[in-house]
A and B are shown apart, each in its own frame.
Chain A
Amino acid sequence: MSHETTHHEHQDDHAGHAVPLPLLAGIFLLLMVLTFVTVGVTSFDFGYRMNLMVAMAIALVKAVLVGLYFMHLRWDAPLNGFILVASLLFVTLFISFALMDTGAYNPVVEAAALRGATP
Chain B
Amino acid sequence: MSTADAHAHDHAHDHDHPKHLAHHFETPAQQMESGKLGMWVFLATEILMFGGLFCAYAVYRANNPHVFLFAHRALDTTWGAINTAVLLASSFTMAWGVRAAQLGQKKLLIGLLVATMLGGAGFMLIKTVEYKAKWDKALWAGTTNAFYQEGGQLADPGEAKYAAAYIEHHGHAPADGGHGEGHGAGHGGGHGADHAAGHAAPPAASKIAPPAAAPAGLHADLLTNDRPVLSAGESMSTGIGAIQAAHRGSHYPAFTELDPLNTNRTHIFFQIYFVMTGLHGLHVMVGLGLIAWICYRAGGPMTRALLVPGLFAATGIYFVFLWWLVSGGGGWFPIAVLVAAVLSLLIGVLWGVLNVARVKADAEGEFGPGYYTPVDLVGLYWHLVDLIWIFLFPLLYLIH
Binding site for B on A (CB under 8 A): 1-4, 6, 8, 10-16, 18-19, 21, 24-25, 27-28, 31-32, 35, 38-39, 42-43, 45-51, 55-56, 58-59, 62-63, 66-67, 69-72, 76-77, 79-80, 83-84, 86-88, 90-91, 94-95, 98-99, 102-104, 106-108, 110-111, 113-115, 119
Q: A6-B11, A99-B62, A110-B238 are in contact. Are A1 and B297 (CB under 8 A)?
A: yes
Q: How far is the CB of B194 from chain A (nearest CB, A)?
A: 31
Q: Which residues in A have their C-beta under 8 angstroms from that of B65? A: 48
Q: How far, in whole Å, are A72 and B226 apart by their CA atoms in the complex? A: 50
Q: Which residues in A have their C-beta under 8 angstroms from that of B33? A: 77
Interface string of B355-395 (1 = CB under 8 A from A): 00000101100101111100010011001001100110111
Q: A6-B11, A25-B92 are in contact. Are A45 and B51 (CB under 8 A)?
A: no
Q: Which residues in B have their C-beta under 8 angstroms from that of A114? A: 219, 222-223, 260-261
Question: Given contacts A38-B394, A114-B260, could you give 17 more A-B pairs where the C-beta distance is less than 8 Å?
Answer: A14-B29, A18-B103, A35-B85, A38-B81, A42-B398, A48-B233, A48-B248, A49-B235, A51-B400, A56-B394, A66-B91, A71-B380, A76-B36, A90-B51, A91-B48, A102-B62, A107-B225
Indicate whether B327 reaches chain A with its CB closer than 8 angstroms: no
Q: Which residues in B have their C-beta under 8 angstroms from that of A111? A: 222-223, 225-226
Indicate whether B28 reaches chain A with its CB closer than 8 angstroms: yes
Q: A47-B249, A56-B394, A114-B219 are in contact. Are A13 and B362 (CB under 8 A)?
A: no
Interchain CB contact under 8 A, B219 and A70: no
Number of interface residues of B (CB under 8 A): 93
Indicate whether B289 reaches chain A with its CB closer than 8 angstroms: no
Count of chain A to chain B residue pairs whose CB atoms are closer than 8 Å in the complex? 230
Q: How far, in whole Å, are A71 and B288 apart by their CA atoms in the complex? A: 18
Residue pairs across A and B with Cβ atoms less than 8 A apart, 14 shown, are: A4-B11, A8-B19, A13-B29, A14-B29, A45-B249, A59-B394, A67-B383, A70-B92, A70-B94, A70-B379, A70-B383, A76-B36, A95-B54, A102-B236
Q: How far, in whole Å, are A58 and B249 apart by their CA atoms in the complex? A: 19
Q: Which residues in A have their C-beta under 8 angstroms from that of B103? A: 15, 18
Indicate whether B24 reaches chain A with its CB closer than 8 angstroms: no
Q: How far, in whole Å, are A43 and B250 apart by their CA atoms in the complex? A: 9
Q: How far is the CB of A87 from chain B (nearest CB, A)?
A: 4
Q: How far, in whole Å, are A16 and B99 apart by their CA atoms in the complex? A: 10
Q: Which residues in B have their C-beta under 8 angstroms from that of A104? A: 228
